[in-house]
Amino acid sequence: MDRPRLPRAVKLLRLALLSPLSLLWAQPPEEPPEPVLATFKGTRLYNFHTTEIPAPKHLEFRVAHRFGDLRQGYANFFGIDAGADVRLSFGYSVLPGLELGIERTGIGKWWDGYAKIRLLRQTAPKGIPVSVTWLSQAFLTEQKDPLRYTTFVNRLEYLHQLLIARKFSRRFSALIGLLWLHQNMALTAQAPNDWFWVMPMARFKVTARLTLIAEGALPLQEMEEALPTYQIPWSAGVEIETGGHVFQLGLTNAAGLSENQTLLTTFPILRVGFNISRIFSFQGGPEYVPKE
């Protein structure tokens, strides 16, 4: 221990202060429960949304990259030679607990807009046990596929999510989501227009700045009949925080990049990728300046 040696007077003082008597001597009022902070570091874990919503008047700018198939090995430099698929996202919290966002995904030329609403916020030390967020998303593709997309309405898909999360400890948070995807144009003649999933998600914080993350989406209906090559989408990775940025490095089996494509992964691929998120504050307010 490299503790400084304290003078005798201070030692005595410390002894006096640490005695039960002085503990009673200090009697500030008890504090009410407060909302927990940072159940997850980001508004997305890797491919999917968490319960987090930026603070009011804060803008999140997010770029997601996914490289090519890792399994081709060195020949393709583990997928990196294939170049990256990119998704850009902007999300702005207009009110406390209400975020509006717009996104563009390269794969499939999808535009989407979403509204994310906080319904409940977990409090500590007691009170509300979970955080609950609702998310509704509308997707529109620009793909010109005359066979599949005969009308404008055909090109629309909707995804609704109910997300329930709990921060169990400083390190461990888990989430369970219920997802409902509606496709105006079904994938195949046998495929339904509505799909449902239950989505588990977890994070484990290793150090203040390094977190392990994993997520998956388990279908609630028979998939093989409509999509014989269906794969349960999953991803796992690490989250690294450097001041204003959050980096998420991960591995996923999803070929698509927007949620509606990721959920309906139908061919085997393994790809590395990363997300970068940056948050800007438009809150303003009086900046505290020290007095001389």
Partner 1 sequence: MYLRNRLWAITFGALAFGQRYVAETLKISFYSDAPLEKISAENAKGCYSHVDFGTDSVYVRVKIRSFSFPNKLMEEHFNENYMESEKYPYAYFWGKLVAPFPYQAPGTYAVSARGLLEIHGVRREALISGVYEVLPEGRLRLTGKFFVRPADYKIEIPRLLWQKIAEEVQVQFEGVYKPT
| Complex with partner 1: residue 112 or 241, whichever CB lies closer | 241
CB 69, CB 78: distance < 8 Å: no
Identify the residue among 25, 77, 90, 172 touching partner 1 (CB under 8 A): 25
| 1 touching partner 1, by CB under 8 A | no
Q: How far is the CB of 100 from partner 1 (least distance, A)?
A: 17
| 20 touching partner 1, by CB under 8 A | no
Identify the residue among 1, 37, 75, 153 touching partner 1 (CB under 8 A): 37
Binding mask 42-81 for partner 1 (x = CB under 8 A): ------------xx--x-----------------------
Of the candidates 210, 226, 122, 135, which has an alpha carbon nearest to the alpha carbon of residue 174?
122
Show the tokens assigned to 51. Answer: 């319960």
DSSP states of 34-86 as a string? Answer: EEPS-SSSSSBSSSSB-S--PPTTEEEEEEEEEEEEGGGGGGGGGGGGG--EE
Which span sits near partner 1 by CB under 8 A: 29-37, 108-116, 142-150, 178-186? 29-37
| 289 touching partner 1, by CB under 8 A | yes
- Containing 164, the helix (H) or strand (E) segment is strand 156-167
| Residues numbered 209-238 forming contacts with partner 1, rule: CB under 8 A | 209
Q: How far is the CB of 23 from partner 1 (least distance, A)?
A: 10
Of the candidates 239, 242, 244, 177, which has an alpha carbon nearest to the alpha carbon of residue 210?
239
CA–CA distance, 163 with 231 (Å, rounded to integer): 22
Please report, as a single letter, which amino acid is at residue 288.
Y
CA–CA distance, 69 with 84 (Å, rounded to integer): 11
| Complex with partner 1: residue 33 or 113, whichever CB lies closer | 33
| 127 touching partner 1, by CB under 8 A | no
Binding residues (CB under 8 A) for partner 1: these are: 4, 6, 10, 13-14, 17, 22, 24-31, 34, 37-38, 54-55, 58, 124, 170, 208-209, 241-244, 279, 281, 283-285, 287-291
